[in-house]
């Protein structure tokens, strides 16, 4: 019988005690794992927020945003000015277009002419040019689309086809600065040159039977689909991305930008950089908005939850270690005579020590199995409880998912991302969207930590066995 | 040959110094069966623990086949116990949750004997001590006192030791079973040419050994050659 087999056997000498020890360990280990899972989930969320919108600023023409207001359009020269501001890591310009299906467009659009929004018609605010396409929108107008297109007259309106949002982009990001998720094909390559290539949203591609390599027309120009992207929303997927110069050329406004997405090097510098960019561009030229303004509190709350869960993880881990320590000390005291016997018949100290460490690991392994089950059942609830208790007083109570620009658009359309909700949808929405899923990797890491602590906890009693003298065997003889 | 040279073990008890073993000297030939008798508290078990390297003497030495135990480090003493000594205790001191075979295999495992070899030898030894084969795989806490002592003797023989030290081996057994155990020890001593030293307060048991020592107040005061054996 090997040391391991003896250790396993010893762990089950007293089944009632073993069950009790495993139950106590399971609670501690389960709590530790649940806290680790919560910590990882919140950490991932914080990272996601910081990576996507946490460090971006949006620059719109002063006095105009989306399709409302007025003012002068942004220019590429202003983009260069913004890029020169300290802590700015990148500036991505966008140019928004509206693609109107040729058969349903106005007389002008069917002839291929470009319509600039004059504050009425298709483009209030002058921010968006309308061009014709042979594509059909993937979104039906429905009640909202028809209501948004109503011209003010009463009575029944004819059903309309929604326009398709096209955006010229200077990098492989969407109009909020978030990386595009291309599900098939490739990106557009060089986003700073004018090329007849396009990325098409999944639902738009499906509606028009487009695949990678298919072609379609914008303003009678043939574009090749290089990739299909998934924006995650129905509205977002009814869109087309082309390179920025291509969009500017289609709109016949080669130097104009609809918006600029300014990325700051760290979240701590966002406030100061926002002020600096605003000053550099001038308050009469540009409005700089901090997309994640209402997220700062949320991220801060999530950070608190992350810290609390990490402390709780460490505390639960230490508790498991102490439980092992105390139990093994008790077992060593209880088995002094047996240890004396083993020494009397020639067992080395390290053999006996190893036997006790392995015995403790058997108990920990059992506790870990039960603890993992507890964690998988409880981690979601624990994470929610932690988040709700830490954010109820700090999170902005925003109930609207997806403020953005969608609602301001005629036809229910808008800039890509405007109707997507997501990060701009409010802190409370974000906080409740934290999902604590038990991944094998996190569980393995947690259990490895538990075993490491258990080994430390078991080493003390194992070392105690070395101090027991073999003459203990004669005690009571 | 076992040589015990002026062995002393003393303890402090408050202001008093107690010497349960006080200048003990004797020699045992290889393969001999000897006994030490004495009243309770006469120092028998202390002497046995010194001979078995369970404890260290205050002074004096034990020499086994020319090797002195005095000054040996703990690791070497462990090796001495593993290789050269077999213990048989009054309360058997078997590991209760292990089977008889596993108990006998333990000293061989500590000595690094391969599993197949130690299993074979353990079964042979249990046969020699006449343990019912069907009880060999039974947990020792489910065996009778006599059976447990047979397992303990088999365990003591596992690594073919030079010296077997038996501390009151019949103390927990009825008279008939005790007789069997002594006969067993005697035959094993002959068959294996192993030196056996039995510590007992039972004069009748001592008479069955070929040499008998009396320990009184820490001193070996009398040696009686019974000549009853062989």
Q: Which residues share a beta bridge with B36? A: B199, B213
Cα–Cα distance list, A218 to A33, A133, A185, A338 (Å):
54, 4, 20, 88
The tokens describing A121, both together, are 């018609």
Q: Which of B45, B107, B159 sits opposite A474 (nearest CB)?
A: B45
- Using the Cβ of B137 and the Cβ atoms of chain A, whether some distance falls under 8 Å is answered with no
Q: Is B109 on the interface with A (CB under 8 A)?
A: yes
Mention every residue, 6+ apart, whose C-beta is less than 8 A from residue A59: A74, A78, A82, A259, A260, A261, A262, A277, A281, A286, A287, A288, A289
Average predicted confidence (pLDDT) for chain B: 87
Separation of alpha carbons B138 and B150, rounded Å: 14
User: Does residue A221 surpass a pLDDT of 50?
Assistant: yes
Answer yes or no: is pLDDT of A45 > 70: yes
Residue A150 has what pLDDT? 62
DSSP conformational letter for B15: T
* CB-CB under 8 Å, A473 with B107: no
Give the closest-approach CA distance of A329 to chain B in angstroms: 19
For chain B positions 35-74, those within 8 Å of chain A (CB to CB) are 45, 48-49, 52-55
Of A1, A9, A348, the CB nearest to B78: A348
Burial of B69 (0-12, 13-18, 19+ CB in 10 A): buried
Residues in chain A closer than 8 A to B159 (CB atoms): 346
* Nearest CB to A346; choose among B81, B93, B105: B81
User: How many percent of chain A have pLDDT more than 70?
Assistant: 75
Rounded average pLDDT over B125-146: 89
Q: B78, A337: Cβ pair inside 8 Å?
A: no
Chain A's closest residue to B102, CA to CA, is A1
Whether B149 and chain A come into contact, CB under 8 Å, resolves to no
pLDDT tens digits for range A126-146 = 455 678 888 888 888 777 767
Query: Containing H/E element for B223?
Result: strand B219-225
CB contact under 8 A, B54 and A348: no
The DSSP secondary-structure symbol of B210 reads S
Query: Which residue of B45, B89, B110 is in closest CB contact with A346?
Result: B110
Quote the minimal CA–CA distance from B82 to chain A in Å. Answer: 4
Pick the residue from chain B with its C-alpha nearest to A466. Answer: B74
User: What are the tens digits of pLDDT across the range B192-229?
Assistant: 888 999 998 888 788 888 888 998 888 887 665 555 54
**How far lies B222's CA from each of A263, A420, B9, B64, B197, in Å?**
100, 104, 19, 23, 16
Mutate to test the interface with B, among A344, A352, A472 (most CBs of B within 10 A): A344
Q: Which pLDDT score, from 0 to 100, does residue A241 have?
A: 94
Q: How many domains are contained in chain B?
A: 1
At B182 the three-state DSSP class reads helix
pLDDT at residue A229 in the model:
92
% helix, strand, coil for chain B, step of 5:
35, 30, 35
What average pLDDT does the segment A178-197 reach?
87
- For chain A, the domains span 3-50+298-474, 56-149+156-291
Residues of chain B found within 8 Å of residue A342, distances taken between Cβ atoms: 95, 106
**Residue by residue, what is the 3-state secondary structure of chain A?**
CCHHHHHHHHHCCCHHHHHHHHHHHHHHHHHHHHHHHHHHHHHHHHHHHHHHHHCEEEEEECCEECCEECCCCEEHHHHHHHHCCCCEEEEEEEEEEEEEECCCCCHHHHCCCCEECCCCCCCCCCCCEEEEECCCCCCECHHHHHHHHCCCCCCCCCCCECCEEEEEECCCECCCCCECCEEEECCCCCCCCCCCEEEEEHHHHHHCCCCCCCEEEECCEEEEEEEEECCCCCCCCCEEEEEHHHHHHHCCCCCEECEEEEEECCHHHHHHHHHHHHHHHCCCCEEEEECCHHHHHHHHHHHHHHHHHHHHHHHHHHHHHHHHHHHHHHHHHHCHHHHHHHHHCCCCHHHHHHHHHHHHHHHHHHHHHHHHHHHHHHHHHHHHHHHHHHHCCCCCCCCCCCCCCHHHCHHHCCCCCCCCCHHHHCHHHHHHCCCCCCCHHHHHHHHHHHHHHHHHHHHHHHHHHHHCCHHHHHCCC
Q: Say if residue A87's pLDDT is above 50.
A: yes
The band of A444, judged by pLDDT with boundaries at 50, 70 and 90, is confident
Residue of A nearest to B41 (CA): A477
The 10 Å Cβ neighbour count of residue B114 is 10
Point out the residue among A2, A13, A348 whose CB comes nearest to the CB of B97: A13
Q: Sort out which chain A residues have CB atoms less than 8 A from B75's CB and list them.
A: 348
Measured between beta carbons, the chain A residues lying within 8 angstroms of B97 are 9-10, 13
Closest to A119 in 3D by CA, of A410, A405, A417: A410
How many Å lie between the alpha carbon of A371 and the closest alpha carbon of chain B?
A: 28
Q: Please report whether residue B230 resides in a domain.
A: no
Query: What value does the mean pLDDT take over residues B165-186?
Result: 82
pLDDT at position A363: 92
Question: Can you tell me the mean pLDDT for A93-103?
Answer: 83
Query: Does A346 sit within 8 Å of B79, measured CB to CB?
Result: yes
Q: Does A471 touch chain B (CB under 8 A)?
A: yes
pLDDT per residue as tens digits for the range A57-79: 889 888 776 556 677 889 988 99
The Cα-based distances of B35 to A71, A72, B14, B39 in angstroms read 116, 115, 33, 13
3 state SS for A218-230:
ECCEEEEEEEEEC
A389-394 mean pLDDT: 54
Over residues A309-323, the pLDDT tens digits come to 889 889 988 998 898
Confidence bin at B71 (pLDDT 50/70/90): confident
**More confident site: B91 or A213:** A213
B contact test, residue of A1, A18, A339 with most B CBs within 10 A: A1
Which of B50, B79, B97 has the most A C-beta neighbours within 10 Å, making it the best mutation to test the interface with A? Answer: B97
Q: Do B49 and A471 touch (CB under 8 A)?
A: yes
pLDDT band at A308 (very low <50, low <70, confident <90, very high): confident
CA distance A24 to chain B (A): 24
Compute CA distances A181 → A45, A229, A241, A413, A461, whole Å. Answer: 18, 5, 12, 21, 54
Q: Which two tokens stand for residue B151?
A: 């397992």
Give the residue from A9, A343, A346, A351 with the most B CB atoms within 10 Å of its CB, the best one to mutate. A346
Q: Is the Cβ pair B89, A470 closer than 8 Å? A: no
CATH number at residue B59: 3.40.50.300
Mean predicted lDDT score pLDDT of chain A: 77
Confirm or reject contact between A475 and chain B (CB < 8 A): no
Q: Cβ of A70 under 8 Å from any chain B Cβ?
A: no
> pLDDT at position A215, please?
93
Mean pLDDT for the stretch of residues B24-39: 89
The answer to whether A10 faces chain B, any CB pair under 8 Å, is yes
Please tell me the distance in Å from B112's CA to the nearest CA on chain A: 11
Q: Is the pLDDT of residue A431 over 70?
A: no
Instruction: State how far the Cα of A257 lies from the Cα of A92, in Å rounded to an integer.
Output: 10
Please tell me the predicted confidence (pLDDT) of residue A117: 40
| Structural domain boundaries, residue B41 | 2-225
pLDDT for A82 equals: 92
Are A345 and B75 a contacting pair at CB < 8 A?
Answer: no
Residue A228 pLDDT exceeds 90: yes
Of B49, B105, B107, the CB nearest to A474: B49
**pLDDT of amino acid B119:** 94
By Cβ distance, the residue of A1, A344, A471 closest to B105 is A1
C-alpha torsion A20→A23→A26→A30, nearest 10 = -150
Q: Which of A210-214, B91-95, B171-175 has the lowest mean pLDDT?
A: B171-175
């Amino acid at each position: 019988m090997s040391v391991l087999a003896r250790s396993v056997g010893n762990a089950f000498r007293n089944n009632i005690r073993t069950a009790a020890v495993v139950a106590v360990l399971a609670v501690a280990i389960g709590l530790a794992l649940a806290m680790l899972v919560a910590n990882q989930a919140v950490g991932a969320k914080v990272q996601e927020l910081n990576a996507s919108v946490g460090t971006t600023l949006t620059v719109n023409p002063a006095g105009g945003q989306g399709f409302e207001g007025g003012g002068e359009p942004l220019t590429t020269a202003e983009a260069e000015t913004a890029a020169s501001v300290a802590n700015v890591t990148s500036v991505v310009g966008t140019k928004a277009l509206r693609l109107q299906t040729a058969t349903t467009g106005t007389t002008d659009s069917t002839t291929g002419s470009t319509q600039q929004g004059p504050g009425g018609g298709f483009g209030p605010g002058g921010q968006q040019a309308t061009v014709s396409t042979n594509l059909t929108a993937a979104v039906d107008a429905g009640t909202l689309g028809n209501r948004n297109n109503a011209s003010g007259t009463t009575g029944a309106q004819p059903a309309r086809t929604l326009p398709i949002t096209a955006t010229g982009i200077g990098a492989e990001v969407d109009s909020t600065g978030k990386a595009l998720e291309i599900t098939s094909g490739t990106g557009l390559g060089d986003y700073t040159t004018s090329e007849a290539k396009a990325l098409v949203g999944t639902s738009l591609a499906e509606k028009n039977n487009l695949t990678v390599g298919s072609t379609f027309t914008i303003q009678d120009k043939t574009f090749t689909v290089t990739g299909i992207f998934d924006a995650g929303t129905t509205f977002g997927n009814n869109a087309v991305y082309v390179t920025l110069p291509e969009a500017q050329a289609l709109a016949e406004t080669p130097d104009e930008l609809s918006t600029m997405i300014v990325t700051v090097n760290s979240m701590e510098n966002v406030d100061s950089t926002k002020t600096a960019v605003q000053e550099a561009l001038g308050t009469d030229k540009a409005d700089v908005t901090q997309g994640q303004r209402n997220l700062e509190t949320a991220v801060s709350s999530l950070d608190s939850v992350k810290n609390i869960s990490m402390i709780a993880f460490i505390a639960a881990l230490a508790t498991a270690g102490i439980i092992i320590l105390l139990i093994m000390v008790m077992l060593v005291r209880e088995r002094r005579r047996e240890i004396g016997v083993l020494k009397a018949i020639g067992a080395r100290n390290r053999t006996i020590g190893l036997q006790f460490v392995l015995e403790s690991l058997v108990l920990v392994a059992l506790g870990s199995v039960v603890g993992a089950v507890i964690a998988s059942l409880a981690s979601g609830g624990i994470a929610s409880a932690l988040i709700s208790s830490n954010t109820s007083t700090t999170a902005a109570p925003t109930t609207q998912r997806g403020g953005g620009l969608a609602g301001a658009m005629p036809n229910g359309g808008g800039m890509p991302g405007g109707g997507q909700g997501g990060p701009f949808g409010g802190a409370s929405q974000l906080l409740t969207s934290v999902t604590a899923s038990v991944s094998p990797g996190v569980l393995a890491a947690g259990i490895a930590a538990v075993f490491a602590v258990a080994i430390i906890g078991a080493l003390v009693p194992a070392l105690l066995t070395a101090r027991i003298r073999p003459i203990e065997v004669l005690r009571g003889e | 040959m076992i040589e015990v040279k002026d062995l002393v073990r003393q303890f402090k008890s408050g202001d008093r110094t107690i010497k349960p073993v006080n200048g003990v000297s004797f020699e045992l030939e290889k393969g001999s069966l000897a006994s030490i008798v004495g009243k309770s508290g006469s120092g028998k078990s202390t002497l046995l623990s010194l001979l078995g390297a369970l404890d260290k003497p205050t002074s004096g030495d034990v020499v086994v086949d020319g090797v002195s135990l005095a000054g040996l480090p703990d690791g070497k003493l462990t090796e001495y116990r593993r290789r050269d000594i077999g213990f048989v205790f009054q309360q058997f001191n078997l590991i209760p949750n292990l089977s008889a075979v596993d108990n006998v295999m333990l000293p061989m495992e500590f000595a690094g004997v391969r599993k197949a070899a130690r299993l074979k030898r353990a079964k042979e030894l249990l046969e020699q001590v006449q343990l019912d084969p069907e009880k060999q795989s039974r947990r020792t806490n489910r065996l009778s006192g006599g059976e447990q002592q047979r397992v303990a003797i088999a365990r003591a023989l596992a690594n073919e030791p030079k010296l077997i030290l038996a501390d009151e081996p019949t103390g927990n057994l009825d008279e008939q079973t005790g007789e069997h155990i002594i006969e067993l020890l005697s035959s094993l001593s002959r068959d294996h040419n192993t030196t056996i030293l039995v510590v007992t307060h039972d004069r009748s048991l001592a008479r069955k050994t070929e040499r008998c020592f009396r320990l009184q107040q820490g001193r070996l005061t009398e040696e009686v050659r019974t000549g009853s054996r062989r």
